Amino acid sequence: MPFASGYFRTSYARELRLVDTRAQAASLTVFLAALGAFPFVASSFLLDLANQFFLASIGAVALMLLTGYAGQVSLGHAGLLAAGAFTVGILVKEANAPFWVTLPAAAGVGALLGVVFGLPSLRLRGLYLAVSTLALYFVVHYVGSEYETERGFSTGIIVDPPALGPLVVSDARAWYFVLLAAAAATVVLALNLLRSRSGRAWRAIRDHETVAEALGIGVPAYKLAAFVVSSMLTAVAGALFAYYRGFVSIEAFSLFLSIQYVAMVIIGGMGSILGALLGAAFVTLFPYAIEALIEVLPTPERYANLVFAVNYAAFGLVMVAFLLFEPEGLVGIWRRVRDWFVLWPFRQRPLAGTK
Amino acid sequence: MAELAVERVTLRFGGLVVLDDVSLAVERGELCALIGPNGAGKTSVFNCISGLYRPASGRIRFQGHDLVGMKPHAVAQRGVARTFQHGELFPHLTVVENLLVGRHTRFRTNIVGETLFSRRVRAQEVEHRRVTEEILDFVELGRHRHTTVAELPFGMQKLVGFARALALEPQLLLLDEPSAGLNRDEREDLARFILRIKHELGIPMIWIEHDMQMVADLADRIFVLDYGRPLAEGTPAQVLNDPRVIAAYLGQAAA
């Protein structure tokens, strides 16, 4: 329409688009171009940070599907990452299996564990469900550490860089593109699920389980599906993590890691994929920010041995602060900032009495 | 044969008898009102039909199948749709999304196709989106299609709940106090929609209602429950003049 007086959707198919307006398509193109150019200008430190973020974002999006959309709490996320990583480690060590075998195997193990983690959700809710996933985390953790000690890999398992035919993914730049592709695929997959029947069923279950059931949604099946999808993605993230670090050790999968993923979902903003990504970025960068802050102090060497303690404490404080003051998370802040720019020079104030 | 027949249903919670030997039947195209004082067990009848409660004894036959013991989602898949007393919508979903959840059982997609958003999934989404628009037209909520339900006033939310039940393309519609909390205009709209469903779609309905004027005007037949026991049954003229019904509502002296 050459002289359209506004922006109109003229078919139902247009409502389904992930990228709708021309402005959105343009900004997405610019964003992707920037992502593509980033590894050619960034230092190796920044490149490693970006890779860590991509890995974290896969896990965060997976947990967001489960907790933020399907409403099922899980503290077992580190166990699923460990399961993926150990599937790779064990298959590489015991069978010298290649990349294209270990990754699907990790996904399979993730799916299986998803069913196991999900079964309690058919009976339990909220805090009780969280505790049952926590118990399962300890089971996975135990199996991993037993494998390490029994097989004499008490310091961890070395994993060679993956080879895709003659192409060996070993340097950080190659990893950047592999992990970027994996993270992007995860985001697209999650958005696809959310704009179709399963995603709506999950959100319906989160809001009103009985009503969802009375409308014909097989609640147990959809809860299990949420656990399976989330666990598969998480296990794949764990597998990629094992290859990226070139090393698998159960110590990397402490309970604190589970908490970090829950924090990503809360700090980012419940019920938003963008929130999961923002949360993943925040939690990944947070320790480096604390370290940099301590470096700025007048005598940094005196606090060097405090960095870890300060890091943990500050992390806890930030999480509490978000829960208290910004329940909508980073994505809530982002929306407010965006609205401010959209409405400028006018200002939006909530009506008296609302919130 | 009746479309739905509730036969001698008894429901107990521990020692408390909630429904005691309740029977009722609805024919195709019939609008049956279910009335009774607060706590008479009207909603419990609905919960038994839709599988949320399991009666201790009795049968519930719908189109020849016994619904007792079926899971709620299986009952819905058979075409039994209901609304809820307090709306009970999905507050974070938009009006269209609420209706699409109502159409859940009508989708023919699987989760693998959905992750890839295959051509089939896309076609189904478009088709069902089109049908929701017809329903939105029917209940005159088109302009709110993309509003998050939590932002709508209560009366409109109840109408969305009504539309969500219709979206299931039901063979039987259970309406749990659809007019409660609605103002006069909204009630008149609701009455019009109920009559249109009856005349144009012929869907049998059971309708729990406290507005006796509305019941007298619209219902084909009335069942009265009192303390879980069937009290009276018949045309509005018979039932509403029955001294036992008046006594149940207003006390012995009034009768």
β-bridge partners, B224? B35, B232
pLDDT at A349 over 70: no
Q: Is 80 exceeded by the pLDDT of residue B254?
A: no
Distance of CA B148 to the CA centre of its chain: 23
Partner-chain residue, chosen from B77, B109, B111, that has the shortest CB–CB distance to A216 = B77
Q: What confidence tens digit (pLDDT) does each residue in A183-203 have?
A: 999 999 999 999 999 999 999
Q: How far is A348 from chain B (nearest CA, A)?
A: 17
| B52 with A214: Cβ contact below 8 A | yes
8 Å CB contact of A215 and B81: yes
- Specify the pLDDT at position A205: 97
Q: At A251, list the tokens.
A: 């110590």
Q: What is the pLDDT of residue A1?
A: 46
Residue A15: closest CA among chain B residues belongs to which residue? B126
The average confidence (pLDDT) of chain A is 91
How is chain A split into domains, by residue range?
Answer: 21-253, 255-355
Over residues B177-188, the pLDDT tens digits come to 999 989 999 999
Q: Which residues face B6 on adjacent strands?
A: B24, B60
Spatial CA neighbour of B51 closest among B71, B32, B65 = B71
ipTM score above 0.90: yes
- For residues B204 and A307, the model is more confident at B204
Q: How far is Cα A143 from Cα A151, in angstroms, rounded to an integer?
A: 12
* Token representation of residue A28: 């997405």
Please, which residues 10-29 of chain A have a Cβ atom closer than 8 Å to chain B? Answer: 11-13, 15-16
The reported pLDDT for the residue numbered A168 is 82
Given this model, what pLDDT does residue A166 score?
74
| Cβ atoms A19, A33 nearer than 8 A | no
- B111-163 pLDDT tens trace: 999 999 999 999 999 999 999 999 999 999 999 999 999 999 999 999 999 99
- If we measure between CA atoms, which residue out of B161, B167, B169, B170 comes closest to residue B190? B161
Torsion angle defined by CA atoms of residues B219, A215, A16 and A191, in that order, rounded to the nearest 10 degrees: 160
Instruction: Report phi then psi at A197, rounded to 5.
Output: -60, -45
Tens of pLDDT, residue by residue over A1-22, are 456 677 788 899 998 999 988 8
Q: What is the pLDDT of residue B151?
A: 95
CATH value of B1-79+170-255 in 3.40.47.10, 3.30.300.130, 3.10.20.90, 3.40.50.300: 3.40.50.300
Please enumerate in sequence order all residues whose Cβ is within 8 A of that of A49, keeping only pairs 6 or more positions apart, or say none.
A284, A285, A288
Interface with chain B: mutation pick from A203, A215, A227, A335, highest number of B CBs within 10 Å: A215
Residue B156's CB is within 10 A of a number of other CB atoms, namely: 19
B78 exposure class (CB count in 10 Å sphere: 0-12, 13-18, 19+): middle
Token representation of residue B131: 């049908």
Q: Where are the domains of chain B?
A: 1-79+170-255, 90-169
Q: Give backbone dihedrals phi and psi of A145, rounded to 5 degrees, phi first.
A: -70, -35
Evaluate if residue A350 carries a pLDDT over 80.
no
Which residue in A186, A211, A351 has the most chain B C-beta atoms within 10 A of its own C-beta, making it the best mutation to test that interface? A211
Q: pLDDT class for B1, splitting at 50, 70, 90?
A: low
What was the pLDDT predicted at B198? 95
pLDDT above 80: residue A354: no
